[in-house]
């Protein structure tokens, strides 16, 4: 079993209730993993910092084998007079002295979704990601971007979604994002097409869920385009992603405050995959490195596999989750949790399926699925969803501690 902690990639989804005054909470933690050994960490979140809808988040981890992780984010800030905009920036840096990665044996096989070798080496990974999100002035955005972050206070306040008209219901947004990302793999660096990318993305989203953290009705649809213009030392490339999710309330019982089914579908393609360009006198394919391209395995898709296990031109992935919020809530009485606001905890059972392919053909993508199944315990801690997933595939099992719902 592989155990590790992932704290960063989806943090931009944090959308706590706007706070009239600032509030800061910190949570120390410890864990053990195969790749890090014994690790100690500290996470902290501050809400309502300078602006009621804004927040700061940070985490630091250091382990017994000298691996470390640092992450920081400033979320949902506004510029005066730009009431439909939200600005976020986050940064991540890490070094894993016994990191586990998947690579191809040679660059000519780059993108072979199955024949990928797992290596253990020292890996250094980092990124910086500024984001600007424009909330369209209709639906929940009619009163400004900050107001669109407001949601129901509790389970009993969750509304039914009775309209899918964006002008009346939900939040419609256009997000612009830049991302510098780098990955160094010690002696294996030469087996990466490049160890650095500069990605520019545009993300169109319609979010019509009745809650960001505990949705039981409605859904989301998201279309994202990612482009690296390349340089004298690396090729340009382009990927497109489409994702949709739906939620269904199946009713409360005497032992459950909420029962919900969540369904998610995601597909992605790399249109430049078969194009080539000349770099330093050599023909190079216009393909992203695996850490920036279309992959399955990891935090949110095919969770029973290690990150980057499957990589190719295109992919499809599906997830189904049965989510239960028990009426029984013992955590408030435990000494370690008494100082924190934990309004609910959630039990989840899930199944994932997906496949990658060397061209975008929906028939071929649905011919041979990989699967994983698992369970999860999720907590709302000071407005942040803490997620602990255990998942199993035919190759391995994974235990992860993360932030936010997978969809």
pLDDT for the residue numbered 105: 58
pLDDT for the residue numbered 9: 47
Q: Indicate the average pLDDT of the chain.
A: 89
3-state secondary structure of 146: helix
pLDDT for the residue numbered 40: 92
pLDDT for the residue numbered 386: 86
Which two tokens mark 89?
Answer: 């920036």
DSSP strand pairing (256-269 vs 276-279) = unpaired
Other beta carbons within 10 Å of 60:
15
Confidence of residue 224 (pLDDT cuts 50, 70, 90): very high
Other beta carbons within 10 Å of 162:
10
Place of tokens 């579908």: 265
Confidence of residue 192 (pLDDT cuts 50, 70, 90): confident
Domain ranges of the chain: 2-155+164-403
Of 179, 190, 70, 30, the C-alpha closest to 121 is: 190
pLDDT for the residue numbered 401: 82
pLDDT for the residue numbered 165: 95
Confidence of residue 340 (pLDDT cuts 50, 70, 90): confident
- What would the mean pLDDT of 311-325 be, rounded to a whole number? 97
End-to-end CA distance of the chain: 24
Confidence of residue 338 (pLDDT cuts 50, 70, 90): confident
Angle at 227 between CA 95 and CA 320, to 5 degrees: 70
Q: Give yes or no for a contact between 346 and 216, defined as CB atoms under 8 angstroms apart.
A: no
At residue 304, does pLDDT exceed 70? Answer: yes
Which two tokens mark 37?
Answer: 């050994």
DSSP strand pairing (171-184 vs 117-135) = antiparallel
Name the DSSP class of 396: -
Confidence of residue 47 (pLDDT cuts 50, 70, 90): confident
At residue 296, does pLDDT exceed 90? Answer: yes
Q: Give yes or no for a contact between 45 and 25, defined as CB atoms under 8 angstroms apart.
A: yes
pLDDT for the residue numbered 372: 97
CATH topology of domain 2-155+164-403: Porin (2.40.160)
Rounded Cα distance between 355 and 178, Å, is 28
Name the DSSP class of 271: T
At residue 21, does pLDDT exceed 90? Answer: no
pLDDT for the residue numbered 335: 75
Rounded Cα distance between 4 and 33, Å, is 5
Using a pLDDT cut of 70, give the percent of the chain over it.
Answer: 92
Of 344, 328, 351, 157, the C-alpha closest to 261 is: 351
Confidence of residue 20 (pLDDT cuts 50, 70, 90): low
Rounded Cα distance between 205 and 118, Å, is 35
Name the DSSP class of 363: H
pLDDT for the residue numbered 7: 46
Rounded Cα distance between 320 and 305, Å, is 17
At residue 162, does pLDDT exceed 70? Answer: yes
Other beta carbons within 10 Å of 115:
8
pLDDT for the residue numbered 15: 47
pLDDT tens sequence across 144-157: 999 999 888 778 88
pLDDT for the residue numbered 110: 52
Rounded Cα distance between 210 and 295, Å, is 30
Rounded Cα distance between 350 and 261, Å, is 10
Q: Is 314 exposed, middle or buried (0-12, 13-18, 19+ CB in 10 A)?
A: buried
Rounded Cα distance between 266 and 319, Å, is 9
Q: Give yes or no for a contact between 44 and 57, defined as CB atoms under 8 angstroms apart.
A: yes
DSSP strand pairing (384-392 vs 370-381) = antiparallel
How many Å is the Cα radius of gyration of the chain? 21
Rounded Cα distance between 256 and 344, Å, is 11
- What would the mean pLDDT of 209-237 be, rounded to a whole number? 95
Question: Out of 170-174, 211-215, 382-386, which region has the weakest mean confidence (pLDDT)?
Answer: 382-386
């Amino acid at each position: 079993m592989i155990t590790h902690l992932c704290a960063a990639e989806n943090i931009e989804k944090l959308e706590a209730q706007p706070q009239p005054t600032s509030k800061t909470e910190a949570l120390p933690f410890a864990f053990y993993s195969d790749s890090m050994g014994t690790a100690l960490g500290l996470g902290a979140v501050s809400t309502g910092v300078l602006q009621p809808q804004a927040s700061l988040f940070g985490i630091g981890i250091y382990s017994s084998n000298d691996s470390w992780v640092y992450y920081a984010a400033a979320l949902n800030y506004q510029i005066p007079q730009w009431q439909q905009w939200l600005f976020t920036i986050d940064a991540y840096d890490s070094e894993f002295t016994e990191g586990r990665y998947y690579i191809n044996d040679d660059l000519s096989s780059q993108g072979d979704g199955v024949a990928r070798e797992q290596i253990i080496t020292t890996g250094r990974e980092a990124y910086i990601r500024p984001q600007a999100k424009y909330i369209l002035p209709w639906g929940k955005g009619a009163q400004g971007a900050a107001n669109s972050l407001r949601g129901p206070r509790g389970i009993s306040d969750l509304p039914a979604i009775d309209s899918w008209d964006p002008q009346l219901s939900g939040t419609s947004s256009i997000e612009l994002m830049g991302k510098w990302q780098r990955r160094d793999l010690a002696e294996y660096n030469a087996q990466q097409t490049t160890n650095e990318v500069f990605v520019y993305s545009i993300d169109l989203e319609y979010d019509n869920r009745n809650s960001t953290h505990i949705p039981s009705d409605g859904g989301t649809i998201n279309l994202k385009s990612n482009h690296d213009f390349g340089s004298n030392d690396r090729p340009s490339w382009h990927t497109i992603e489409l994702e949709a999710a739906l939620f269904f309330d199946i009713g409360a019982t005497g032992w459950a405050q909420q029962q919900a089914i969540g369904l998610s579908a995601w597909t992605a393609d790399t249109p430049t995959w078969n194009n080539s360009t000349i770099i330093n006198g050599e023909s190079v394919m216009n393909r992203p490195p695996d850490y920036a391209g279309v992959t399955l395995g990891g935090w949110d898709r095919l969770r029973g596999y290690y990150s980057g296990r499957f990589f190719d031109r295109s992919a499809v992935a599906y997830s189904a989750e049965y989510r239960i919020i028990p009426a029984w809530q013992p955590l408030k009485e435990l000494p370690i949790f008494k100082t924190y606001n934990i309004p609910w905890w959630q039990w989840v059972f899930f199944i994932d399926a997906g496949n990658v392919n060397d061209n975008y053909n929906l028939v071929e993508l649905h011919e041979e699925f990989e699967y994983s199944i698992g369970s999860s315990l999720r907590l709302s801690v000071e407005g942040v969803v803490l997620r602990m997933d255990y998942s199993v595939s035919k190759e391995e099992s994974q235990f992860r501690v993360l932030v936010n719902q997978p969809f």
